[in-house]
Structure 1
Amino acid sequence: MAELLFVTWDGGGNVPPALGTARELQARGHTVRFLGHAVQADRLAAAGVGVEPTRHARRFDNRTDYSPLEALRLFADRGLGRDLLDAVRRRPADLVVVDHLAFGAMHAADEAALPYAVLEHAYDASLRTLLRGPMGLNLALRRLHPHRALDHAAARLLTTIPTLDPLPEPPAHLHRVGPVVDVAPRPAHGPAPDGRPLVLVSLSTFGFARMRACLQAVLDATRAVDADVVVTTGPAVDPAALDVPPGVEVHRHVPHVELMPRASLVIGHGGHGTTMQALAHDLPVLVMPMDRLTDQPAVGRSLERAGAGRVVRKGAPPRRITPLVEELLADGPHQAAAARLGAEVRSLPGARLGADVLEDVVRAAAVGRGRRAARR
């Protein structure tokens, strides 16, 4: 059996795909451990994976530290790369699996000639766009080479679906494994026990600017909508800071897989993981991007093009949001479009297919080591 080291960062939606793939590998008998930010240690340990300590990585806490400038520093952090090299010196790994935005760690693995794979928890088209903008310039100024690091990976695992992220000419080492999401069956009684539709509102676990005001606008927009509403604020927004309409449930956290089987609509920020999980349950999505410099606007546009969602700008007043909520709750072609995309998501079990690719990489690396030893 193999030993794999996953390198992640405190980004919220980027962690579940890594954990889902790791659990699949553990179920097959492999040993898995994680390296990430210090604030993640308890959560990763609670998820049942080994956790490596960090000494050099930049401090980062997604509840309070996010800003575009901080993100640029974070993705170029060579300190996480130094921690990666320390971890494999203490305990070698057959394969390192690096988050596709942890370019400092990816660079370290490449320079040290460690066998590594890259886990892409977003559209590949969005990644290419980001690397042409401020992120790519920042990495170049810091003498990091993101395209080279991606090209030198033994494999890249892309956790999207073809309809939303088409690849005209993918490189041979880029494998579309599909979204890594939990899917629960819909209850036999329909969307909700009382027959009313359920709207799930979740605008990110990240501490984006104006998050509370955006959540409040969405809450106010639902006052006139005939639906049950459940809001998950995440760690960045205190539920007590919101003016909650009567009958609306507000929680810090509820596993979305517990709510989506009886939901009719998700209002989100365009995070890739939440969006893929909503589609996996055949749900249309109203997207309010929280940060235009991320992939969130692209996710929203792709849903609109596919007919499975709508986009509303950040900071939109309730009067702009309410008609879109009513439109997506009503019968219409968006429901069939969401169901088509949902079938596509479910046809690509990302954790299983991703684990298959990683096992192939480990086997190929072992064969390569054997041949080199024989030549000596």
Structure 2
Amino acid sequence: MARFVFVTWSGAGNQTPAIGLAATLADRGHEVTFAGYDEQRDRFSSLGFAFRTLKHAQEHWPTAPPPDWMPILADVVWASGQHLRDIPDLLAAEHYDVMVIDCLMFAALAAAERASAPTAVLVHSAPGALVPPGGGLDQLALDRVNEVRTESGLSAVQTLWETWQGFPVVCTSAPDLDPPAHPTPAAVEYMGPVFEPRRGAPWIHPWGPGTSAHWCW
């Protein structure tokens, strides 16, 4: 049995594939913990996963919805210098065999790179749509990411994709869905869509298997 920790945040579509992968690992006997922000705790705890707060970054999470989320996400999630403390604290508090870090948490990846911790990158959508070189996210966050990397003693990168280099990268999409204008990093392994496990009782045919019904309108 191995111990996994998924480092994540509450994005629009990133949690579902992480939960799907985590559930598969748990079904195979592995121990899975999630680490992220307090607003995520109830969701992961309700699914039976242990949860750890990234405490230093959490201190900078807004107490009320801001007028514009993008600068907040850049400073508190994607390029949070606080992750340079949060990730070492997470690893010091408990032993994990593998970290799985969301692909947009570039500062957390820098912390993992500096710590030489066994880490995989989870790309939860088509890379060419999510973070293409020279695209909007590069323009918004690249300078800040390089500041964090410099603070970590790491070299600057020309694109955000370069932060994935050196790690195995798992993408829960298919290349045919998004042929990128730029070749994706060589380490990317496409595994196709991953879904959150169905909860509750399965649907049961009201007339039993193998029967047919005529509908009247």
Give the conservation status (yes or no) of the 8 Å contact 1:10–1:61.
no
- Which gives a bigger RCO, structure 1 or 2 (Cα 8 Å, sep 6+)? 2
Aligned to 2:208: none
Q: Deviations over 1:239-291 (max 9, x none)?
A: xxxxxxxxxxxxxxxxxxxxxxxxxxxxxxxxxxxxxxxxxxxxxxxxxxxxx
Q: 1:179 aligns with which of 193, 198, 208?
A: 193
Q: 1:92 aligned to 2:95?
A: yes
Q: The residue matched to 1:32 in structure 2 has which SS?
A: strand
* Aligned sequence identity (%): 30
The structural deviation recorded for 1:106 is 0.8
Higher-Rg structure is 1
d(CA) in 2 for partners of 1:62 and 1:20? 29
**Cα distance change on mapping 1:61 and 1:18 into 2, 3 Å:** farther
What TM-score, normalized by structure 1, do the two folds share?
0.45
Aligned to 1:166: 179
d(CA) in 2 for partners of 1:36 and 1:152? 23
Q: Which runs of 5+ in 1 are unaligned?
A: 196-376
Aligned to 1:71: 73
The structural deviation recorded for 1:45 is 0.8
**Cα distance change on mapping 1:178 and 1:36 into 2, 3 Å:** same
**Cα distance change on mapping 1:122 and 1:142 into 2, 3 Å:** same
d(CA) in 1 for partners of 2:45 and 2:22? 13
d(CA) in 2 for partners of 1:3 and 1:182? 20
Q: The residue matched to 2:72 in structure 1 has which SS?
A: helix
Q: Deviations over 1:290-312 (max 9, x none)?
A: xxxxxxxxxxxxxxxxxxxxxxx
What's the C-alpha RMSD, in Å, of the aligned pairs?
3.0
d(CA) in 2 for partners of 1:16 and 1:170? 23
**Cα distance change on mapping 1:114 and 1:176 into 2, 3 Å:** same
Spell out the pairing of 1:191-270 with structure 2 (5 A cutoff).
Answer: none
Return the letter of the residue paired with 2:193.
P
What TM-score, normalized by structure 2, do the two folds share?
0.75
Give the conservation status (yes or no) of the 8 Å contact 2:169–2:188.
yes
Q: Deviations over 1:183-240 (max 9, x none)?
A: 989999xxxx898xxxxxxxxxxxxxxxxxxxxxxxxxxxxxxxxxxxxxxxxxxxxx
d(CA) in 1 for partners of 2:71 and 2:184? 31
Give the conservation status (yes or no) of the 8 Å contact 2:16–2:196.
no
The structural deviation recorded for 1:166 is 2.3
d(CA) in 1 for partners of 2:88 and 2:10? 19
Q: The residue matched to 2:51 in structure 1 has which SS?
A: strand
Q: Which runs of 5+ in 2 are unaligned?
A: 151-156, 206-214
Q: Which moved more, 1:85-94 or 1:58-67?
A: 58-67
Return the letter of the residue paired with 1:16.
T
Structure holding more helix per residue: 1
Aligned to 1:247: none
The structural deviation recorded for 1:31 is 0.5
The structural deviation recorded for 1:52 is 1.4
The structural deviation recorded for 1:170 is 4.2
**Cα distance change on mapping 1:94 and 1:147 into 2, 3 Å:** same
Q: How many pairs align?
A: 191
Spell out the pairing of 1:347-366 with structure 2 (5 A cutoff).
Answer: none
The structural deviation recorded for 1:40 is 1.3
